[in-house]
Amino acid sequence: MSGKRVVMVVDMQNGVFATPRVGRERCAALINQLTRAADQVIFIQHCEEGGLEEGSDGFQILPELYQPDNALYVTKTACDSFYKTSLETVLREQDINAFVICGCATDYCVDTTIKNGASRGYAITVAGDAHTTANRAAADAHTLIEHHNEVWRTLIVPGNPVRVKSVETILHEWQAN
């Protein structure tokens, strides 16, 4: 993993965590390891009525997360971080073609952003142990996380496979380069 070390953090916001998410503390700690080692961090923030209005306390990034001074912020209104947002412009202006992704919710915004980003040609590495979600009616959060890690590992995007790695492996690869 050579080049600029970029981490995209999806929806790790106060209002999102009003619904309990599995392993919040562990997930935040792993994300902090990534953001402290990254050259560039992009925070994606969901905005909608009902507690995630822009500027509200619910919209704010979780207080336990490290936000570097040079962090970039993109606001979205859909599960897809690319849909009608400035994300693609930000990536182009910063000459970013590859990134590590982490955050919440595994089965909604993280998944949709990964699939759309990969289809747009971005080289995506999923921090497989640094994303979280809530228990759902059809499956518990741990099952959803493992299921999505497997789906992303085997996602068919010819010439641009999505990689799923542990934070430890990502950091080790960054140190080696």
Domains of the chain: 6-176 (3.40.50.850)
Residue 105's pLDDT band, with cuts at 50, 70 and 90, is very high
Closest CA to 166 of 137, 131, 120, 136: 131
Give the number of residues written for the chain: 177
Per-residue model confidence as pLDDT tens digits over 56-91:
999 999 999 999 999 999 999 999 999 999 999 999
From the centroid of its chain, how far is CA 38?
A: 14
Per-residue model confidence as pLDDT tens digits over 109-158:
999 999 999 999 999 999 999 999 999 999 999 999 999 999 999 999 99
What pLDDT score does 136 carry?
A: 97
Helix axes 167-176, 24-37, angle to 10 degrees: 10
pTM over 0.85: yes
